[in-house]
Structure 1
Protein backbone atom coordinates (compact mmCIF):
# COMPACT_ATOMS: atom_id res chain seq x y z
CA UNK A 1 0.00 0.00 0.00
CA UNK A 2 1.45 3.38 -1.03
CA UNK A 3 1.71 6.22 1.46
CA UNK A 4 -0.77 8.92 0.39
CA UNK A 5 1.78 11.64 1.14
CA UNK A 6 4.24 10.11 -1.34
CA UNK A 7 4.04 11.68 -4.77
CA UNK A 8 5.05 9.60 -7.78
CA UNK A 9 8.21 11.16 -9.11
CA UNK A 10 9.52 10.37 -12.58
CA UNK A 11 13.14 10.63 -13.69
CA UNK A 12 12.76 14.30 -14.71
CA UNK A 13 11.25 15.24 -11.32
CA UNK A 14 14.14 13.50 -9.58
CA UNK A 15 16.72 15.29 -11.73
CA UNK A 16 15.05 18.65 -10.99
CA UNK A 17 15.15 17.89 -7.26
CA UNK A 18 18.81 16.82 -7.41
CA UNK A 19 19.77 20.03 -9.22
CA UNK A 20 17.78 22.24 -6.84
CA UNK A 21 19.36 20.51 -3.83
CA UNK A 22 22.76 21.47 -5.24
CA UNK A 23 21.69 25.05 -6.02
CA UNK A 24 18.22 26.26 -5.00
CA UNK A 25 18.81 29.51 -6.88
CA UNK A 26 18.95 27.72 -10.23
CA UNK A 27 16.43 29.30 -12.61
CA UNK A 28 13.88 27.41 -14.68
CA UNK A 29 15.89 28.41 -17.74
CA UNK A 30 19.04 26.85 -16.26
CA UNK A 31 17.14 23.71 -15.22
CA UNK A 32 15.67 23.41 -18.72
CA UNK A 33 19.12 23.71 -20.31
CA UNK A 34 20.61 21.06 -17.99
CA UNK A 35 17.73 18.66 -18.66
CA UNK A 36 17.41 19.41 -22.37
CA UNK A 37 13.78 20.54 -22.01
CA UNK A 38 11.93 23.78 -22.60
CA UNK A 39 11.20 26.24 -19.81
CA UNK A 40 7.41 25.72 -19.67
CA UNK A 41 7.40 22.04 -18.61
CA UNK A 42 10.17 22.73 -16.09
CA UNK A 43 8.17 25.63 -14.65
CA UNK A 44 5.05 23.44 -14.38
CA UNK A 45 6.96 20.59 -12.73
CA UNK A 46 8.64 22.87 -10.19
CA UNK A 47 5.28 24.49 -9.34
CA UNK A 48 3.72 21.02 -8.88
CA UNK A 49 6.61 19.96 -6.64
CA UNK A 50 6.12 23.12 -4.57
CA UNK A 51 2.31 22.81 -4.43
CA UNK A 52 2.49 19.18 -3.29
CA UNK A 53 5.12 20.13 -0.68
CA UNK A 54 7.80 17.84 -2.12
CA UNK A 55 9.75 21.11 -2.16
CA UNK A 56 8.89 22.56 1.25
CA UNK A 57 10.97 25.74 1.07
CA UNK A 58 14.13 27.32 -0.27
CA UNK A 59 16.87 28.28 2.19
CA UNK A 60 20.42 29.57 2.44
CA UNK A 61 22.79 27.17 4.21
CA UNK A 62 24.93 29.17 6.61
CA UNK A 63 28.29 28.19 8.11
CA UNK A 64 27.70 28.09 11.88
CA UNK A 65 31.41 28.63 12.63
CA UNK A 66 31.44 31.89 10.69
CA UNK A 67 28.44 33.20 12.62
CA UNK A 68 29.93 32.55 16.04
CA UNK A 69 27.96 29.37 16.73
CA UNK A 70 30.86 26.94 16.46
CA UNK A 71 30.07 24.58 19.33
CA UNK A 72 27.66 21.82 18.38
CA UNK A 73 26.21 19.61 21.10
CA UNK A 74 24.03 16.56 20.66
CA UNK A 75 21.76 16.02 23.65
CA UNK A 76 19.79 12.90 24.47
CA UNK A 77 16.88 13.54 26.82
CA UNK A 78 14.53 11.49 28.96
CA UNK A 79 11.22 12.73 30.26
CA UNK A 80 9.54 11.67 33.47
CA UNK A 81 5.99 11.47 32.09
CA UNK A 82 4.92 10.52 28.58
CA UNK A 83 1.32 11.67 28.52
CA UNK A 84 0.06 13.44 25.42
CA UNK A 85 -0.12 16.76 27.30
CA UNK A 86 3.39 16.45 28.77
CA UNK A 87 4.91 15.56 25.39
CA UNK A 88 3.12 18.46 23.69
CA UNK A 89 4.23 20.82 26.47
CA UNK A 90 7.84 19.72 26.13
CA UNK A 91 7.79 19.99 22.33
CA UNK A 92 6.26 23.46 22.52
CA UNK A 93 8.98 24.51 25.01
CA UNK A 94 11.80 23.13 22.82
CA UNK A 95 10.47 24.63 19.59
CA UNK A 96 10.80 28.12 21.07
CA UNK A 97 14.52 27.82 21.92
CA UNK A 98 16.61 29.17 19.02
CA UNK A 99 19.76 27.20 19.96
CA UNK A 100 17.86 23.96 19.25
CA UNK A 101 18.27 23.55 15.49
CA UNK A 102 16.94 19.98 15.33
CA UNK A 103 14.73 17.95 17.65
CA UNK A 104 13.63 14.35 17.15
CA UNK A 105 11.15 12.33 19.23
CA UNK A 106 12.64 8.85 19.58
CA UNK A 107 11.65 5.30 20.39
CA UNK A 108 14.22 3.56 22.56
CA UNK A 109 16.36 4.43 25.57
CA UNK A 110 15.93 8.20 25.18
CA UNK A 111 12.85 10.23 24.39
CA UNK A 112 14.39 13.11 22.41
CA UNK A 113 17.55 13.92 20.49
CA UNK A 114 18.51 17.59 20.13
CA UNK A 115 21.11 19.32 18.01
CA UNK A 116 22.29 22.48 19.77
CA UNK A 117 24.40 25.28 18.27
CA UNK A 118 26.03 27.79 20.63
CA UNK A 119 29.12 30.01 20.77
CA UNK A 120 31.15 28.11 23.37
CA UNK A 121 31.00 26.01 26.53
CA UNK A 122 29.85 28.97 28.65
CA UNK A 123 26.96 29.53 26.27
CA UNK A 124 26.15 25.81 26.43
CA UNK A 125 26.08 25.88 30.24
CA UNK A 126 23.76 28.91 30.11
CA UNK A 127 21.54 27.05 27.62
CA UNK A 128 21.30 23.98 29.89
CA UNK A 129 20.69 25.89 33.10
CA UNK A 130 18.43 28.69 31.90
CA UNK A 131 16.59 27.23 28.92
CA UNK A 132 16.54 23.45 28.75
CA UNK A 133 16.41 22.52 32.45
CA UNK A 134 13.50 24.84 33.13
CA UNK A 135 11.16 22.10 31.84
CA UNK A 136 9.94 20.26 34.95
CA UNK A 137 9.27 17.00 33.07
CA UNK A 138 12.93 16.53 32.10
CA UNK A 139 14.69 13.82 34.13
CA UNK A 140 17.95 13.13 32.27
CA UNK A 141 20.23 14.95 29.84
CA UNK A 142 23.24 13.32 28.23
CA UNK A 143 25.34 15.61 26.06
CA UNK A 144 28.09 14.93 23.53
CA UNK A 145 30.13 17.54 21.72
CA UNK A 146 30.99 17.38 18.03
CA UNK A 147 34.73 17.51 17.43
CA UNK A 148 34.60 17.16 13.64
CA UNK A 149 31.86 16.95 11.00
CA UNK A 150 32.42 13.99 8.71
CA UNK A 151 29.30 14.44 6.57
CA UNK A 152 26.98 17.44 6.69
CA UNK A 153 24.27 17.67 4.08
CA UNK A 154 20.63 18.56 3.84
CA UNK A 155 20.23 16.68 0.53
CA UNK A 156 17.72 13.83 0.44
CA UNK A 157 19.15 10.82 -1.42
CA UNK A 158 17.11 10.37 -4.61
Structure 2
Protein backbone atom coordinates (compact mmCIF):
# COMPACT_ATOMS: atom_id res chain seq x y z
CA UNK A 1 0.00 0.00 0.00
CA UNK A 2 1.26 3.43 -0.90
CA UNK A 3 2.09 5.74 1.98
CA UNK A 4 0.24 9.03 2.29
CA UNK A 5 2.13 12.26 2.88
CA UNK A 6 0.77 15.11 5.01
CA UNK A 7 -0.74 16.90 1.99
CA UNK A 8 -2.59 13.73 0.92
CA UNK A 9 -3.95 13.34 4.43
CA UNK A 10 -5.10 16.94 4.62
CA UNK A 11 -6.70 16.62 1.19
CA UNK A 12 -8.61 13.53 2.33
CA UNK A 13 -9.73 15.29 5.51
CA UNK A 14 -11.04 18.23 3.49
CA UNK A 15 -12.89 15.99 1.04
CA UNK A 16 -14.45 13.99 3.89
CA UNK A 17 -15.80 17.22 5.36
CA UNK A 18 -17.12 18.53 2.04
CA UNK A 19 -16.77 16.57 -1.18
CA UNK A 20 -18.26 19.49 -3.13
CA UNK A 21 -15.16 21.65 -2.61
CA UNK A 22 -13.78 22.60 -5.99
CA UNK A 23 -10.20 21.88 -6.96
CA UNK A 24 -9.60 25.63 -6.75
CA UNK A 25 -10.95 25.78 -3.17
CA UNK A 26 -8.90 22.72 -2.17
CA UNK A 27 -5.76 24.19 -3.73
CA UNK A 28 -6.29 27.42 -1.81
CA UNK A 29 -6.70 25.62 1.51
CA UNK A 30 -3.68 23.39 0.84
CA UNK A 31 -1.46 26.22 -0.41
CA UNK A 32 -0.97 24.52 -3.79
CA UNK A 33 -1.87 25.23 -7.39
CA UNK A 34 -4.73 23.52 -9.23
CA UNK A 35 -2.73 20.97 -11.19
CA UNK A 36 -1.00 19.18 -8.28
CA UNK A 37 -4.28 19.02 -6.34
CA UNK A 38 -6.11 17.59 -9.34
CA UNK A 39 -3.34 15.01 -9.86
CA UNK A 40 -3.38 14.04 -6.17
CA UNK A 41 -7.15 13.53 -6.23
CA UNK A 42 -6.90 11.35 -9.35
CA UNK A 43 -4.05 9.34 -7.76
CA UNK A 44 -6.00 8.86 -4.51
CA UNK A 45 -9.04 7.75 -6.52
CA UNK A 46 -6.93 5.35 -8.58
CA UNK A 47 -5.33 3.85 -5.48
CA UNK A 48 -8.76 3.29 -3.93
CA UNK A 49 -8.43 5.73 -1.03
CA UNK A 50 -11.41 7.64 -2.47
CA UNK A 51 -14.08 5.08 -3.30
CA UNK A 52 -16.98 7.38 -4.23
CA UNK A 53 -18.57 10.74 -3.66
CA UNK A 54 -22.03 10.81 -2.08
CA UNK A 55 -24.63 13.19 -0.71
CA UNK A 56 -25.53 12.57 2.93
CA UNK A 57 -29.30 12.73 3.24
CA UNK A 58 -31.52 13.44 6.25
CA UNK A 59 -33.27 10.20 7.18
CA UNK A 60 -36.08 11.99 9.04
CA UNK A 61 -36.92 14.19 6.06
CA UNK A 62 -36.98 11.01 3.95
CA UNK A 63 -39.56 9.54 6.35
CA UNK A 64 -37.19 6.99 7.89
CA UNK A 65 -36.58 8.25 11.44
CA UNK A 66 -36.37 4.81 13.07
CA UNK A 67 -32.90 3.25 13.21
CA UNK A 68 -32.66 -0.37 14.31
CA UNK A 69 -29.71 -2.65 14.86
CA UNK A 70 -30.73 -6.23 14.22
CA UNK A 71 -28.55 -9.11 15.34
CA UNK A 72 -29.02 -12.24 13.25
CA UNK A 73 -27.91 -15.69 14.32
CA UNK A 74 -27.98 -18.53 11.83
CA UNK A 75 -29.09 -22.11 12.56
CA UNK A 76 -26.39 -23.65 10.38
CA UNK A 77 -23.05 -22.15 9.48
CA UNK A 78 -22.00 -23.83 6.28
CA UNK A 79 -20.78 -21.77 3.35
CA UNK A 80 -23.90 -22.19 1.22
CA UNK A 81 -26.20 -20.78 3.92
CA UNK A 82 -23.84 -17.89 4.69
CA UNK A 83 -23.50 -17.03 1.00
CA UNK A 84 -27.27 -17.19 0.50
CA UNK A 85 -27.90 -14.87 3.46
CA UNK A 86 -25.34 -12.36 2.16
CA UNK A 87 -26.93 -12.49 -1.29
CA UNK A 88 -30.49 -12.03 0.02
CA UNK A 89 -29.66 -9.20 2.44
CA UNK A 90 -28.19 -7.21 -0.49
CA UNK A 91 -31.71 -7.05 -1.93
CA UNK A 92 -33.27 -5.49 1.19
CA UNK A 93 -33.34 -1.73 0.62
CA UNK A 94 -34.13 -1.00 4.28
CA UNK A 95 -30.74 -2.45 5.29
CA UNK A 96 -28.13 0.31 5.18
CA UNK A 97 -25.25 -1.75 6.55
CA UNK A 98 -24.59 -5.45 7.14
CA UNK A 99 -21.58 -6.98 8.87
CA UNK A 100 -20.56 -10.63 9.24
CA UNK A 101 -19.51 -10.88 12.88
CA UNK A 102 -17.40 -13.11 15.09
CA UNK A 103 -18.87 -14.11 18.44
CA UNK A 104 -22.39 -15.00 19.54
CA UNK A 105 -24.08 -13.17 16.66
CA UNK A 106 -23.47 -14.00 13.01
CA UNK A 107 -24.62 -10.77 11.34
CA UNK A 108 -25.32 -7.22 12.45
CA UNK A 109 -27.71 -5.16 10.31
CA UNK A 110 -28.39 -1.42 10.48
CA UNK A 111 -31.91 -0.75 9.27
CA UNK A 112 -33.87 2.46 8.67
CA UNK A 113 -37.68 2.53 8.52
CA UNK A 114 -40.50 5.01 9.00
CA UNK A 115 -42.23 3.41 11.98
CA UNK A 116 -42.32 0.39 14.28
CA UNK A 117 -45.14 -1.00 12.15
CA UNK A 118 -42.92 -0.74 9.07
CA UNK A 119 -40.15 -2.54 10.96
CA UNK A 120 -42.59 -5.26 11.99
CA UNK A 121 -43.62 -5.74 8.35
CA UNK A 122 -39.98 -5.68 7.23
CA UNK A 123 -39.10 -8.49 9.67
CA UNK A 124 -42.26 -10.50 9.01
CA UNK A 125 -42.40 -10.28 5.22
CA UNK A 126 -38.79 -9.79 4.19
CA UNK A 127 -36.03 -10.55 6.69
CA UNK A 128 -37.58 -13.64 8.30
CA UNK A 129 -38.18 -15.11 4.84
CA UNK A 130 -34.44 -15.64 4.39
CA UNK A 131 -33.71 -19.31 4.91
CA UNK A 132 -31.71 -20.55 7.93
CA UNK A 133 -32.23 -17.59 10.30
CA UNK A 134 -32.37 -18.92 13.83
CA UNK A 135 -32.63 -15.85 16.07
CA UNK A 136 -33.34 -12.17 15.41
CA UNK A 137 -32.65 -9.64 18.16
CA UNK A 138 -33.62 -6.04 17.48
CA UNK A 139 -32.41 -2.92 19.30
CA UNK A 140 -33.92 0.49 18.58
CA UNK A 141 -31.98 3.75 18.66
CA UNK A 142 -33.48 6.27 21.09
CA UNK A 143 -31.07 9.11 20.34
CA UNK A 144 -28.13 9.43 18.00
CA UNK A 145 -25.22 10.81 20.03
CA UNK A 146 -22.45 10.70 17.44
CA UNK A 147 -22.59 9.91 13.75
CA UNK A 148 -19.34 10.51 11.93
CA UNK A 149 -19.20 9.47 8.30
CA UNK A 150 -15.50 10.21 7.93
CA UNK A 151 -12.56 8.12 9.09
CA UNK A 152 -9.87 9.28 11.48
CA UNK A 153 -6.74 10.09 9.47
CA UNK A 154 -3.69 10.25 11.76
Give the structure-1-normalised TM-score.
0.95
- Rounded Cα–Cα distance in structure 2 between residues aligned with 1:7 and 1:80: 42
Distance (Å, rounded) in 1 between the aligned partners of 2:20 and 2:78: 43
Runs of 4+ in 1 over 3 A off after TM superposition: none
The aligned residue for residue 48 of structure 1 is 43
2:129 aligns with: 134
1:145 to 115, 140, 144: 140
What runs of 5+ residues in structure 2 fail to find an aligned partner?
Answer: none
SS at match of 1:67: coil
Pairing 1:45-124 to 2, within 5 Å after superposition: 45-124=40-119
How many residues matched?
153
**1:96-139 alpha-carbon deviations (Å, 9 max, x no partner):** 10000000000001000000000001100000000100012100
Root mean square deviation of aligned Cα: 0.7
Q: Distance in 2 between matches of 1:13 and 1:109?
A: 40
Within 2, Cα distance between the matches of 1:35 and 1:82? 50
